[in-house]
Chain A
Amino acid sequence: MRDIVIIGAGPAGLSAAIACREWDLDTLVIDEFPKPGGRLVGQLHQEPDGEWWNGIKETQKLVDKAEAFNTEIKCGVSVHHIEKVDNGFAVHTNQGVIDTENLLVASGAAESPAPLPGWTLPGVMSIGAAQVMTNVHRVRVGNKGIVAGVNVLSAAIARELQLAGVELHSMALPAVNTVTKDAGNPKKVMDGLVRIAHLAPSAFLRFGSKFAKAAWIRNLAVNFYPKGGVKMWGMPIHIRKAIVSINGTTQVESVTVCKVTADGEPVAGSEETIEVDFVCIAGGLYPLAELAAVIDCPFQYVEELGGHVPVHNQQMETPVEGLYVAGNITGIESSKVAGAQGTLAGLSIAKKNEKSNAELDIKIAEAMKQVKTIRETASIQFHPGINAGRKKVEKAYQAYEQANA
């Protein structure tokens, strides 16, 4: 029986492992991907101070540190079920069952699809898939593409594709349907962009800052959005044009794009065809919490965090005895926040065995502060209401504790 099994070797899981090993816990990290690093390995962007955030290098730093503490990291191990057993958990994997007293689920986030007519054609991929192929596998995703979905993630990744020499025609919205209601609404998209403008690390966020913060100016900006789009790194971004269909017989050959009103309604007769051989769809991210669900951890729906998240407190404990969560499973945020949450979770787990240890208490208090500081200064913020969202979860935890006291 292990002291702690950590599911997910992303920034959250690796940082937690380092903290657990620093406190000498018998720790095992497992991940289904062939390499450690999670979504961090695909990341490449420029910070406000001009420094580059290179996910491959950041991952190496974490792995080196974990190895310096003799941390066991097993890749290619996929968890399909978790059972609560006496004194702990049985973790069911493709390599057998692992018993552990404590469990940290740091399984990250997944992408929401943006279904459009033709989205099942070969050559259509999620924006995250394009990121992994480009930055992790070094595979050229196509010769000329278009991005359906304008948000902080798709813009950051579009830039990465450009840097890798992959030609993008433009970015536009996905046409509005039941699933893409928000992603296809120019006003909502503009709101999202403007609220991150003050963080301006890059040309993309300066793009947002071209529009003022007052709602009426934002509406003006949507109404009088330049016909040729607003250019970022020479690539037009359209929020008054939507991709209505993806066309081709055996693979992507073109997309049909039309003008849309400020509310996202298509303008009849404005259709044009653009030849492309790949399409990236960007429907946003949601916390990947399936493993917390199979052990009956209570959930809370928090829009600001990206959807349903396992109920947890500020020390990353859930109401299920011995179960902890950290990283994007607790809400969609940048990798730096995920790492800080991981460190905190690791310390909280150590605390379980070291009930009265003043040094550890100080470390936990510092780690909690660190999560907040990093959140405040994060250059990539997925939702402007993140703090409000975090408060809702904390409240849910307290309510749960009271109800079950």
Chain B
Amino acid sequence: MDHTIICRCEEVTLEDINNTAEKYGCSARELKLRTRAGMGYCGGRTCRPAVDAVVQEATGEEPGNNLPLKVQPPVRPTSLATLGGQHQS
């Protein structure tokens, strides 16, 4: 089970997350930044609940009313042309 991939885009395993949590004793946010879990191409759309659950268990942080890991725009894969305002219509 430890070698099971949790975040598919960045290929982060359960073991990677648990080891990082153990080594640095860090917050959910830091854990995400160190492992890149949930930070790949899909922006966490596939793994967000799984990453939340694993990070919660690893850090002991209970779910609060704020989203555990902040949502950052763009929330979809977006081309530079679109971000620069050069969309095709």
Contacts and interface: CB of A to CB of B under 8 A. Distances in A.
Contact of B89 (A80, A82, A96, A290): A96
A219 interface: no
B54 to A, nearest CB: 5
A294 B73 contact: yes
B14 A178 contact: yes
B6 A179 contact: yes
A299 to B, nearest CB: 6
A308 to B, nearest CB: 5
Interface string A262-292: 0000000000000000000001001000110
B8 A120 contact: yes
Contact of A81 (B3, B74, B79): B74
Given A117-B4, A119-B4, A294-B71, A307 B76 contact: no
A46 interface: no
A110 B63 CA distance: 19
B73 A178 contact: no
Interface in B1-20: 1, 3-6, 8, 14
A286 B4 CA distance: 22
Interface residues of A, number: 38
A322 interface: no
* Best-surrounded residue of B45, B67, B85 (most CB of chain A within 10 A): B67
Given A112-B50, A301-B65, A307-B49, A78 B5 contact: no
Contacts of B4: 115-117, 119, 177
A58 to B, nearest CB: 26
A79 B49 contact: no
A293 to B, nearest CB: 4
Contact of B47 (A113, A294, A308): A113
Contacts of A120: 5, 8
Interface residues of B, number: 34
Contacts of A294: 71-73, 75
B67 A293 contact: yes
A95 interface: yes
B60 interface: no
Interface in B43-89: 45-47, 49-50, 53-54, 57, 63-67, 70-76, 78-79, 82, 85, 87-89
B75 A291 contact: yes
Interface in A120-179: 120, 175, 177-179
B39 to A, nearest CB: 14
A373 interface: no
B76 A113 contact: no
Given A113-B46, A177-B4, A299-B66, A80 B87 contact: no
Given A112-B50, A178-B14, A179-B53, A117 B3 contact: yes
A95 B47 CA distance: 27
A82 B71 CA distance: 12
A149 to B, nearest CB: 13
A80 B74 contact: yes
Contacts of A115: 4-6, 14, 47, 50
A94 interface: yes
Contacts of A300: 65
A265 B87 CA distance: 53
Contacts of A32: 76
A178 B54 contact: yes
Given A79-B76, A95-B87, A113-B46, 4 more contacts: A80-B78, A96-B85, A179-B49, A308-B63
Interface of A: 32, 78-82, 92-97, 110, 112-113, 115-117, 119-120, 175, 177-179, 181, 283, 286, 290-291, 293-294, 298-301, 307-308, 396
5 contacts: A80-B74, A80-B82, A82-B73, A94-B76, A119-B4
